[in-house]
Structure 1
Amino acid sequence: MATESLSEIERRNRLPTLFEVLSRRTLAPVDLFSFYIYMRDQQRSVDYLDFWLDVSQHMSLCRHYVRELRRSVLVATPELEKAGSKRSSTVLENLENLGDISLGEPGPSGVHNRHSEEKDADQRLSAFLRLEGQGHSPQGSLGSQSAGRVSSNEQRPRQSFMTTPDPNDSTSPGHTVTRADIRASAEKILYTYLLPGSEREIILPENMVNNCINMIEDDGRDDPEVFDSAKDYVFQAMERDAFPGFLQAKALGNLVPLSIVARLAFALASFGGGFWGAFYVVLSDKPRHIRCWVILPFVVASYFLASYQYKIDPAMALAGYSEYTFMNWTRIQEPYVRRLLNKRALATLFIAILLAVALCVLFIFVPGTML
């Protein structure tokens, strides 16, 4: 899993980027789980995030396949050298050019989000898989070692977005990722998200979808570069349309929409009761020690009205909790977000107290009259 140490997170004196969230380098309430819940419940576009996660898993599957294949070839190097075939030399040369494949979290292919070394490594990985798919299979030179591997054509369910895809969870015997697994993964993404009328079709430019369909179905490709343009498009769409709202909701507030509306309703009900009681004690000329009871409804109403206005529950924020679904709370673990929410909670609490004091002073000290 691509994670940062706690000290690195504490030194990050800013809000996280979308890439950091998708790479699981953040903590609650701005972690990947919270972003998934936000995309599902508020944006109603979780299919885009699922597409990103499935493509990232496909990249991890390809990396593990090539890494495993490279180790197998290196183990079998003496036999390949004895054979002295041109294919054996090509296999060794291509795998050596790949180097050691990292199993880190895949990211968008855009240069602004990734190091050039990582991008070059992914391009070499895709080029190798394309070469192998054209019939230059290194497995053919390994003899019975790879010939005995049998893969299942059944689609494997996508693993939880909360964990890094485990390449050992393969449908093939011996926990080995085969080329058939990669092909099945690419076709699953195509049939689930890209084909017109598919189960969870996402809206992409028509030429982009057609290119993906042609590369997979006509050209027989299943390397990660097939989905690069679509993955970058989805990343930019989430970064532009969804991620600012996510930060607004989770880094500047700690309430979900249903809870915010409930607080408004409770504030209005409390204000109604407070004003009714206040006018009653004033118009009936009650003594001040009785009028002081109007403090209770006005305090409650002011608290919930300020909570609605700033989308934050000050008490829960100061206690270190954030709401990810209605009435379900989680600890705030991201240090910068916690400091930010504490400041906003204190400011919201100050405004609520100021409003409550002003209303209470008005109705307690105003001269009474008998109607």
Structure 2
Amino acid sequence: MAATSSPVPDLHRNRLPTLFEVLSRRTMAPVDLFSFYIYMRDQQKSVDYLDFWLDVSQHLSLCRHYVRRLHRSVIEDTPELEKETSKRSSAVLDNAGEGPSGEKATTTPDQRLSAFLRSDQGSRQHSPQNSHGSNKSTQSTPGMERPRPSFMTADSNSPANESSPGQDSSGPDNVPKREDLRASAEKILYTYLLPGSEREIIIPQGILNDVQEAIEGPAQRSDPELFDAAKDYVFQAMERDAFPGFLNSKALGNLVPPSMMLRLIVGLLAMFGGFWAAFILIFLNKPRHIRCWLILPFTIGTYALTSQQYMLDPILVFAGLSEYTFMSFARIREPYVKKLLRSRALMALGLFILIDTATCALFIFVPGKRL
């Protein structure tokens, strides 16, 4: 397979990232795809939507891989005298998998990829198994073998169901075959979309019917375009319902809900203990140097409550850390988020110092009166 460049994070982005940038792996912690996955799993409780989107993206990659290998097999199996004639078909394969060529394109690369897979499937269904061509091409061209049993009829305990569909019936070079594309499409349908499925997600009934008819109907499609409507719907649902909360949690704070709850409990207990001790020392008319010990509970309580209110720990921010699960931390690597968190940490730290100083001064310097 031709080498493809990995997505490069934008280090000069002077704004919060979009959901598409997060899903495309163009961001860094704490607003990267891993953090979003943890957020969808632990806080939003809807990780199945994200898994569906990722599996559809993997299905698209599998289709591109299949087309590239088919393109390569056409080039390798064409004799020298026929290579000039096959350039047009090779260009079609290349455009379907990689994007537009020199000619003006009116459709997207993914649409051309889906169109090619549908036309390729139709030609395979209506042509004899041993059509005119070399014997070598029937052995090396993917998809010419008899289709294996579909995903639903496969053994649920077989290793094929534990790995991606593009690897279970591939050869030693992990070359995807036509039946792998169909198995991948069926797996997505039977795992996420059908009512009562293992990880069912809620999508409009019309979209579900279209996808089910395309996969199980006479066309038996496996091209990635058949999932476009469902994928767009899931993307918009995540963008509307989950992503704003993710940015609020990770770009404006660095604590997870269990940690904030713990800080709330500790803060309330510390403040209660501070007020209780302060009134006892005042009404016992204890000297001020003894009342200075009140700084300890008031400082702990004020810091914990301020952290809970702002959803961030200033000390952790200045240490460059963000909490992604309870008591598990990751480095803050996104430049704009780091700058944003530091500004909020300074605000929280200033408020903490102001409240703590005023509270301690009030109960230390107020005149005592023994009852």
Q: TM-score range by the shorter chain?
A: 0.7 to 0.9
Of stretches 333-342 and 243-252 in structure 1, the one that deviates more from structure 2 is 333-342
CA contact (8 A) 2:259 2:326 kept: yes
Per the normalisation by structure 2, the TM-score is 0.86
**SS in structure 2 opposite 1:135?**
helix
1:150 Cα offset (Å): 8.1
Amino acid at match of 1:128: F
Runs of 5+ in structure 1 lacking a partner? 105-115, 160-164
CA contact (8 A) 1:253 1:341 kept: yes
**SS in structure 1 opposite 2:324?**
strand
Question: Residues 308 and 119 (structure 1 numbering): CA distance in 2 closer, same or farther, change over 3 Å?
Answer: farther
1:127 lines up with 2:126 in the alignment = no
CA contact (8 A) 1:64 1:101 kept: no
Question: Residues 103 and 21 (structure 1 numbering): CA distance in 2 closer, same or farther, change over 3 Å?
Answer: farther
**1:144 maps to which of 139, 144, 163:** 139
Q: Which residue of 1 aligns with 2:171?
A: 173
Q: Which residue of 2 aligns with 1:362?
A: 362
1:281 Cα offset (Å): 1.1
Question: Residues 151 and 319 (structure 1 numbering): CA distance in 2 closer, same or farther, change over 3 Å?
Answer: farther
CA contact (8 A) 1:2 1:23 kept: no
Amino acid at match of 1:124: R
- d(CA) in 2 for partners of 1:333 and 1:365? 45
1:75 lines up with 2:76 in the alignment = yes
1:216 lines up with 2:215 in the alignment = yes
Amino acid at match of 1:189: I
Amino acid at match of 2:238: M
Q: Which residue of 1 aligns with 2:157?
A: none
Question: Residues 251 and 158 (structure 1 numbering): CA distance in 2 closer, same or farther, change over 3 Å?
Answer: farther
Counterparts of residues 171-320 of structure 1 (less than 5 Å):
171-174=169-172, 175-218=174-217, 219-320=219-320
- d(CA) in 1 for partners of 2:163 and 2:248? 29
Q: Which residue of 1 aligns with 2:51?
A: 50
- d(CA) in 2 for partners of 1:337 and 1:102? 36
**SS in structure 1 opposite 2:221?**
coil
CA contact (8 A) 2:28 2:333 kept: yes
CA contact (8 A) 1:67 1:100 kept: no
- d(CA) in 1 for partners of 2:281 and 2:347? 32
- d(CA) in 2 for partners of 1:210 and 1:314? 51
1:119 Cα offset (Å): 5.8
CA displacement 1:108-162 (0-9 Å, x = unmatched): xxxxxxxx97961111110110011113479965223237868865554466xxx
- d(CA) in 2 for partners of 1:117 and 1:337? 38
- d(CA) in 1 for partners of 2:238 and 2:89? 36
- d(CA) in 1 for partners of 2:52 and 2:190? 11
CA displacement 1:192-251 (0-9 Å, x = unmatched): 011111111110000110000001000211101110000000001000110000000000
Amino acid at match of 2:177: T
CA displacement 1:55-101 (0-9 Å, x = unmatched): 0000000001001100110111217939x9xxxx7x76444224256
Amino acid at match of 1:171: S
1:4 lines up with 2:5 in the alignment = no
- d(CA) in 1 for partners of 2:231 and 2:288? 67
- d(CA) in 2 for partners of 1:314 and 1:39? 25
Count of aligned pairs between the two proteins: 344
CA contact (8 A) 2:97 2:113 kept: no
Amino acid at match of 1:146: T
Of stretches 246-255 and 135-144 in structure 1, the one that deviates more from structure 2 is 135-144
CA contact (8 A) 1:64 1:103 kept: no
**SS in structure 2 opposite 1:297?**
helix
CA contact (8 A) 1:94 1:128 kept: no
CA contact (8 A) 2:13 2:336 kept: yes
Question: Residues 16 and 76 (structure 1 numbering): CA distance in 2 closer, same or farther, change over 3 Å?
Answer: same
**SS in structure 2 opposite 1:286?**
coil
CA displacement 1:16-65 (0-9 Å, x = unmatched): 11001000111111010100010011111000000000000000000010
- d(CA) in 2 for partners of 1:232 and 1:213? 17
1:268 Cα offset (Å): 0.2
Question: Residues 288 and 33 (structure 1 numbering): CA distance in 2 closer, same or farther, change over 3 Å?
Answer: same
CA contact (8 A) 2:270 2:297 kept: yes
- d(CA) in 2 for partners of 1:158 and 1:55? 15
Question: Residues 55 and 182 (structure 1 numbering): CA distance in 2 closer, same or farther, change over 3 Å?
Answer: same
Cα RMSD (Å) of the superposition?
Answer: 2.6
Question: Residues 71 and 207 (structure 1 numbering): CA distance in 2 closer, same or farther, change over 3 Å?
Answer: same
- d(CA) in 2 for partners of 1:118 and 1:348? 53
Q: Percent sequence identity over matched residues?
A: 57
